[in-house]
Structure 1
Amino acid sequence: MGRYSDDTGFVNDSARPRGFLRDGSTYVRIDVPGARFTLATGLNNLGQVVGASLDQNGDAHGFLWRAGRFTPVDLPGVAGTNPIDINDKGAVVGLFLDTDGRTHGFLLDKGEVVVIDLPRAALTLPFGLNDDGDIVGYTINDDGSEVHGFLLAQGPKGPVTPIDFPGATVTAPGDLTDRGLIVGGYLVEEAAAPGLRLLDGLSLLTR
C-alpha cells in the first residue's frame, strides 16, 4: 500500500456489508451491483481500490474500483478470487480458491498470474505488496498450530525471509512500505490456532 491518504474498508448500514473509500471528510460507497457482500481491502496512490464480493451463490469475485467504475478481477479456471492489495504499478496480490476447494496465494502483474505457495505450508496468504514488488503475508500448517510471517523480496521468485515476532506463537504481517517497514499482528499463547483470525477481516476466502 502506498501513501494515498484515504481509507478503505467496509460499512454495514443494513443487513448487507459494503465497502467504502474515505476521501477527507467524504465517504464514498463501494458496492458491487447485485452482490451479497462487498469488501474493499487495498488501494494505491492512484485511487485504485481492490477487494472482493460474494455473489448470490456465495462465490467470491475480485474487483478493481476507481472513481465509481468496477473492473472484474477473476482469475481464469478458479472457483473464487479475492484480491487484497494493489501497488502503484497496478500489480495485485491476493487469494484464490481452486476447483478442489484449496486456497492459494497469487500475484497478478501485467496480466500474468503467479501462484504463491510456499514449501511445507498448507496455506500461503499474501496480504501486502509495495512498489518494489516485495510481498508480505503468512503461512499456516495443516492443523493451524503454526502461523509464521514471510517476506518475499522482489516477488514470488525472490528470496524468502521468515518474519516471527520474538516470543510469539503467531506472526501475521499485513502490509509493508516501499522503505521496507512491515506491520502486522502477533499472538503469544500456547494454542496458536486463534492466529487464523488475525487477518480474516481482509479475506472472504479464509472465513
Structure 2
Amino acid sequence: MFVIVTAGMRLRKSYELQGNVRLSPVTRTPPRESPYHHACASYLWSVTLSERSRRFAVKLLGTRPRHLKSEFGSAHCFDTPRNDYTVHWLTSSAFATVALTLVSASVFAAPLGGTQWQITITDLGVFPGNLGSQGFAINDTGKIVGTSSAGVGSYTVQWINGLISAIPVYSRSGSSIPKDMNDQGEIAGTLVISSLMNQGIYWDAQNNPFPLEGLPSVSGSQVVAHGINVGGHIVGRAQEGSPNFAGHAVIWNKATFETDLGFMDGGSYSEGYGINDAGDVVGAAGIANGSLHAFVWKNGQFTDLATWGGGLTSASVAYAINNNGVIVGKRANVATRWANGAFQALPMPAGVSAFTAAVDVNDAGDIIATGSKGYPLEVGVLWRNGEPIDLGTLPGGNISRAARINEAGEIVGEAKAADGFFHAVKWTVTRASPPCAGDLNGSGTVDAADLAMLLGGWGGANPTLDLNHDGVVNAADLATVLSAWGACF
C-alpha cells in the first residue's frame, strides 16, 4: 500500500492507512533514503518516510516486528496474537499511523483540488468454497448484491450487515447478474445464458425472481435489464424477432412490459441504461446515419444529448441519471457529465486515462467510473464536489472497478485481491478532518466559499457537508460554519 502527498497539496499533520494484507517475508532491507528512513529489516513490516523534492511517502514492507529509534523520530512495532500491527511514526515534518487489519484498507489522499479524503476499501469476501466475487449494486439501507464464483458457474448473492448469502435465481442455465437495486430491495438484472441469449429478471423485495416480459407479439424476444427506480420501474432492452432483431429501449413495471420507447431520429436501435425516480430514462440510440448517440427520454420524448453544448459528436452513451437531472456517461470515449443543456468532460486523477465512461451518479452529484492506469491496470474513480479521487486497490492487488454508488456515497464494485482473484469490495470516502470545523474546502479559512458549498448542498446528505453527521445538511451545519468564521489556527 502506498500513499504520496506531493508538493502543492495540503499536507495534514496526520494520516492513516489500514489494510487487509497477506504479509510475506522480506528478503532484503530496502535502499536507504537519507535522512528520513527506517526499516524493520527482515521483520513483519517496514516503514519508509522519505523527503525528496518535497515529496513525502509511506510504504509497508517486511515480515516481523521490532522496535527502532533514531534522532529523526521513532517507530514502535507491536506484536499481538490477532495479527494486528500498528506503527506510530514521529518526525519534524509529519505524523503517520499505519494499522494493518484483516478487513479493510483506509488511506488519506489529496486529489487535484487539494482536499484530503479518507478512503476505506473493504473486501466483502466470497461465498463459502468460492474463489471470487463481484459487487454490482448497493442501496441506501446498505444492502449489496452481486455474484460469487467457484470458477465454473456462479451464485447470485447479497451482503447484509457484512454477511453473505445466496439469493434464488430464475434458472440455473446461466449466470444471473443483479445490475441495480432500489431501497425496497427490488432488483433488476439479467440471466446471461450465452452471448446471444439473455433473459431480464426482476427480483421482488423478498428475493423472488420473475422473468421480464418481451416485446408484445414477439416470440423468443431477448431481454436485458440495466436499472430500476424507487417505484420498481425497470429499464433495459428487448429485442425484435426475425428478420430485423432490432433492440428497443423498454420500461417494465416490475416484471410486466409497460412502454416501448421506440427509436430516435430515424434510427433502428435503442437501449435504456438508467432511470430516475421520475421515470426519466437515459441510454444510447442509433440515429439515421448509423452513429450512436446518448439520449434522455422524458415525457415521452427523446432528446439527443449529442446536441447539448455545441453540435454533434462521435459516439456517446448515457448510463445514469439522478433525481436532479444530472446525467453521466461517455462522449467521444471520455467520461462526461451532462446537465442544464451542457456537457462537461470530467477531469481525471493523476495517472488515470480520461478514456472511460462515468457509470453512476447519486443525488449529491457524486459520480463514479473505472479508469485505466495503463493496461492491464485499472482503478475505481470518484468525483466529489468536482474533484477526481483515485479509489485505490486492495493490498496486494493492482485493479479495482467501481459499479454503483448510493445516496450515502458508499460505492461497490470489485478489486483484485492478493490471491489473484477478484473480490467484491465496498468503498467509503469521507473528508479527512479539516484544519478547523467549517473549513469545507481545506483552504485554512472559513469564508464565503465554504458557505457557498454548504448552501449548495442544503437539504441533501452529502457527507462532506454534513458536519455533525446527522444525515442531512441543515441549520446545525450552518451554525458550525458561522461559529468558525475566519482563519483557522
Q: Do structure 1's residue 125 and structure 2's residue 352 form an aligned pair?
A: no
1:184 pairs, out of 398, 413, 417, with: 413
Distance in 1 (CA, whole Å) between partners of 2:395 and 2:369 is 17
Query: RMSD between aligned alpha carbons?
Result: 2.7
Q: Which has the larger radius of gyration?
A: 2
CA contact (8 A) 1:4 1:46 kept: no
What's the CA shift for 1:191?
A: 11
Under a length normalisation based on structure 1, what TM-score does the superposition of the two structures give? 0.76
Closer, same or farther: CA 190–91 of 1 in aligned 2, 3 Å? same
CA contact (8 A) 2:267 2:290 kept: no
Under a length normalisation based on structure 2, what TM-score does the superposition of the two structures give? 0.34
Q: Do structure 1's residue 6 and structure 2's residue 236 form an aligned pair?
A: no
Q: Which amino acid aligns with 1:148?
A: V
Q: Which runs of 5+ in 1 are unaligned?
A: 98-102, 193-207
> What is the aligned length?
184
What's the CA shift for 1:130?
A: 0.5
Closer, same or farther: CA 161–46 of 1 in aligned 2, 3 Å? same
What's the CA shift for 1:127?
A: 0.5
CA contact (8 A) 2:381 2:388 kept: no
Q: Do structure 1's residue 84 and structure 2's residue 311 form an aligned pair?
A: no
2:356 counterpart SS class: strand
Q: Do structure 1's residue 116 and structure 2's residue 116 form an aligned pair?
A: no
Distance in 1 (CA, whole Å) between partners of 2:334 and 2:393 is 21
What's the CA shift for 1:174?
A: 2.0
Closer, same or farther: CA 35–166 of 1 in aligned 2, 3 Å? farther
2:381 pairs, out of 144, 150, 155, with: 150
1:124 counterpart SS class: coil
Q: Which amino acid aligns with 1:11?
A: A
What's the CA shift for 1:56?
A: 4.4
Closer, same or farther: CA 25–135 of 1 in aligned 2, 3 Å? same
Q: Which amino acid aligns with 2:345?
A: V
2:402 pairs, out of 169, 173, 177, with: 173
Distance in 2 (CA, whole Å) between partners of 1:180 and 1:62 is 25
Distance in 2 (CA, whole Å) between partners of 1:84 and 1:175 is 11
Q: Which amino acid aligns with 1:71?
A: T
Q: Which amino acid aligns with 1:48?
A: D
Distance in 1 (CA, whole Å) between partners of 2:295 and 2:404 is 19
Work out the percentage of aligned pairs sharing the same amino acid.
22
Q: Which runs of 5+ in 2 are unaligned?
A: 1-226, 423-489
What's the CA shift for 1:90?
A: 0.4
What's the CA shift for 1:44?
A: 0.5
What's the CA shift for 1:9?
A: 1.2
Closer, same or farther: CA 174–58 of 1 in aligned 2, 3 Å? farther
CA contact (8 A) 1:145 1:191 kept: no
What's the CA shift for 1:37?
A: 2.2
Distance in 2 (CA, whole Å) between partners of 1:18 and 1:186 is 33
